[in-house]
Structure 1
């Protein structure tokens, strides 16, 4: 098959990656901006650079998306499957961004792949989806809530006799490190996922063996650059939801949330699990806020976010299936 169908998938994949960047930029920087640890301009720049660097450490996640979610058919059917998945996931990203809801770009992409594969009659590797997507999807927010609560509890105990002013200033400086760690983890996870879809397109077009799970370095590099550009564009609607909608954070709380979420991302990446950076940071913020009191958390906002999470798989999957159906006459 010619290269132009693959080029089309690359363009769509980079479009999704760009929306992922500005959709999820808030994940890494919202807490640092709202606690005034970093200015928005500095935070966005830091996030963009660390996203770029983190992308090259997430190859295992790319291989999971590229070989463990669906068995892509060869020829035009496989290309249209990839197109449907990307268009469906991008549409869901734009919808939730417009509504200001921090939904999961990861699960939008996996849902899009699943929906397009079912519409195409292709094989979905349900066992792998269960082990590498569904179980981490449930476990990572739980770990985030518990971890955020424990880290914040430890901070409160360690600094219980410290002067509030110097302590807050110290944690503002510490948030530069924790925000950078969070952005690096976002790059490890999110820049590599669409690279996995491009690898699927290469297999479908016959330019890469089906039993080769590797993702070309040029695809990772391109995804990294585009994700960084999207992150630099910012995601102010979602930033307001994460930074102020769930709970108003102070610098120690912001540091605890970012450090917890970054740790969750690193462990997941090491196992090749494509988890949601949105899940990780939102859960960590909720756990941190609960140390103040259960009433301090705005549970109505949290419920809206959970609803967006629940709807992401079927919403993106249905959109991808519809796109595949419209384009199926081309196969």
Structure 2
């Protein structure tokens, strides 16, 4: 039996053990609140400190805002399902979730690539940095990245709309993922799988290639600096970004590898949690702990907030 646009999907989540639902709810709620507050604090810190009104921190604000939206597109629905003990999600809700997740995942890829380009210009062309990385270019890079992400997400949503679904509508994760929906389809998905692989190579591979290309030139430029202090100072400006890149792509490759080598639903869920929840939560801490300017600005913000209490 085939069903199209009137069906509901079931989000199986982490476990069906009712005794584990309260601690899982508390854990995910805590992680979500930390993600929102930490990223909002980064945005507030950058906006309030004029010393941080530079391209690097403009992109950091964009990344923090994207992480907030990324987490909000998946976690609240999961928390609601746990609280109401209802695993269902409507066809429209599932489609919307897929669309937003794709937008923010692809945008994260491009933002990390744009930040790598910013570091490349700062280190390899320091005298021309302010001329090249002007406000118009920075805004254009972010808006272009958002436009590409949105077009890709709408294309994928239209791709799902043409699929027919059967009665087995259980999604073994806590949110709607495009690959999982394609697996549930009754209709022929050969073309959809090919398009999915092509999109992954383009929208995942190209930004990663740009990051690698930028850092090859960065390392080459740093190696030519005569003093060890100068090398350390130059590389320290890239440390936070590199950590975020390794975290994001490390968890992303973990999801891909786990889905490719195993059919275990538990491993798929754990990989999805690592991919969707851990990077947005840890990114602001990585930048605040490894960046002296951000730490100093954060101290001022925290002191000001404390004085108001």
Relative contact order higher in (CA < 8 Å, ≥ 6 apart): 1
With the length of structure 2 as denominator, give the TM-score of the two structures: 0.30
Structure with bigger gyration radius? 2
With the length of structure 1 as denominator, give the TM-score of the two structures: 0.29
